[in-house]
């Protein structure tokens, strides 16, 4: 006998065009495998999303919820800034919590999210991490260039080219590059080479930033697994943190991405949290047989 298909209720959401399938596992557990995640994320055979978010009951005291994040390949990941904002709107708009400030645990973080009167969500993304082991990034034998109070690393690419990257973790790994004109930069060619570079054994999200002023950048991100997305929240945080440490940016920066605008604030200390503010909205709801 064939196993009976699983029917799953879902909500499709987006934050600055980075899109998500959100599933509620607070009432009963959801045991979905990687194949089912891929199906949900598939834009032709499923719902279509960059990431799948599963909302669960918390397991840590003081937390309101727990949530897990999967790329549309089915791989579980550590952090998702746009997803965190959608998560906040999801639980608040459904009356799953009666407050505008929400605490949620992820696989390696505890986040505080605040729904503002204008509907946007401000997320305390925690402090960035700079230890190469946190990404991980293997810099053995590379000679860094000191810029500001940070450094960039020369990364030789498979196609014979090379890029200068700043590396940091926002809970998930990021490599950030400064480019002169982000619209015309060959991101489809360079992004995958950086993502899959042997020096990043768990791969990396590759951000391409054009600095317009000390408080304004344009950013495109080739995300690990998902490819280039319309916006990446952790990528926006990583670009601003790198830009501040490299001396190019001030403490509050507006970020233009293809799917919308985000704002990132960071006071610059090693223990200081990064704050991400931006939109989050429901697109539609439905049920799918997996
Ligand atoms: N879109 C996200 C990041 C999702 C995870 C990323 N692709 C990874 O693999 O680390 C965001 O808004 O931060």
Partners of residue 220 on adjacent β-strands? 208
Helix (H, G, I), strand (E, B) or coil at 182: helix
d(CA 86, CA 67): 11
> Is the CB–ligand 1 distance for residue 71 below 6 Å?
yes
- Stretch (H or E) spanning 128: none
Helices (H) and strands (E) in the chain, counts: 4, 19
- Stretch (H or E) spanning 274: strand 274-278
136 upstream amide cis, omega within 30 of 0 = yes
What topology does CATH give the domain 132-271?
A: Diaminopimelate Epimerase; Chain A, domain 1 (3.10.310)
Looking from the CA of 174 toward its CB, the CA atoms found within 13 Å total 32
Q: Where are the beta strands (DSSP E) in 25-172?
A: 51-56, 65-71, 76-77, 101-105, 110-115, 121-124, 145-147, 150-156, 162-169
CATH H-level, domain 7-126+279-289: superfamily: Diaminopimelate Epimerase; Chain A, domain 1 (3.10.310.10)
List the pLDDT tens digit at each of the 290 positions of the chain. Answer: 656 678 999 999 999 999 999 999 999 989 899 999 999 999 999 999 999 999 999 999 999 999 999 999 999 999 999 999 999 999 999 999 999 999 999 998 899 999 999 999 999 999 999 999 999 999 999 999 999 999 999 999 999 999 999 999 999 999 999 999 999 999 999 999 999 999 999 999 999 999 999 999 999 999 999 999 999 999 999 999 999 999 999 999 999 999 999 999 999 999 999 999 999 999 999 999 99
pLDDT at 6: 84
Domains of the chain by residue range = 7-126+279-289, 132-271
pTM of the complete model beyond 0.80: yes
pLDDT at 4: 67
Partners of residue 236 on adjacent β-strands? none
Locate the ligand 1 atom nearest the alpha carbon of residue 18 and give its number: 1
132-271 has the same fold as 7-126+279-289: yes
Report the binding-site residues: 18, 51, 71, 81-82, 172, 205, 223-224, 233-234
Task: Give me the catalytic one of 8, 49, 80, 155.
Answer: 80
Cα three-residue angle 134-136-140, rounded to 5 degrees: 120
d(CA 135, CA 239): 15
d(CA 201, CA 10): 33
> Is the CB–ligand 1 distance for residue 72 below 6 Å?
no
pLDDT at 126: 97
Looking from the CA of 279 toward its CB, the CA atoms found within 13 Å total 17
237 given a catalytic annotation: no
Assess: ipTM above 0.95. Answer: yes
């Amino acid at each position: 006998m064939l196993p009976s298909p699983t029917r799953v209720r879902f909500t499709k959401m987006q934050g600055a065009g980075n899109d998500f399938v959100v599933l509620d596992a607070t009432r009963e557990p959801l045991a979905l495998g990687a194949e089912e995640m891929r199906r949900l994320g598939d834009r032709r055979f499923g719902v279509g999303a960059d990431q799948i978010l599963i909302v669960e009951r918390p397991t840590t005291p003081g937390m309101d919820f727990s949530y897990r994040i999967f790329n549309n390949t089915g791989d579980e990941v550590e952090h998702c800034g746009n997803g965190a904002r959608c998560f906040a709107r999801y639980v608040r708009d459904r009356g799953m919590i009666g407050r505008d400030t929400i605490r949620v645990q992820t696989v390696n973080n505890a986040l505080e999210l605040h729904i503002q009167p204008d509907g946007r969500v401000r997320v305390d993304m925690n402090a960035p991490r700079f230890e190469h082991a946190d990404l991980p990034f293997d810099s053995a034998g590379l000679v860094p260039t000191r810029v500001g109070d940070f450094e960039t690393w020369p990364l030789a690419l498979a196609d014979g080219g090379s890029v200068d990257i700043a590396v940091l973790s926002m809970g998930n790994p990021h490599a950030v590059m400064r480019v002169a004109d982000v619209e015309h930069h060959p991101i489809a060619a360079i992004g995958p080479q950086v993502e899959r570079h042997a020096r990043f054994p768990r791969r990396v999200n590759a951000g391409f930033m054009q600095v317009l002023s000390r408080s304004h950048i344009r950013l495109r991100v080739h995300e690990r697994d998902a490819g280039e997305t319309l916006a990446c929240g952790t990528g926006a945080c990583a670009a601003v943190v790198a830009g501040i440490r490299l001396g190019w940016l001030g403490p509050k920066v507006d970020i233009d991405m293809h799917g919308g605008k985000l704002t990132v604030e960071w006071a610059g200390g090693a223990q200081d949290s990064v704050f991400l503010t931006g939109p989050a909205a429901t697109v539609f709801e439905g049920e799918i047989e997996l």
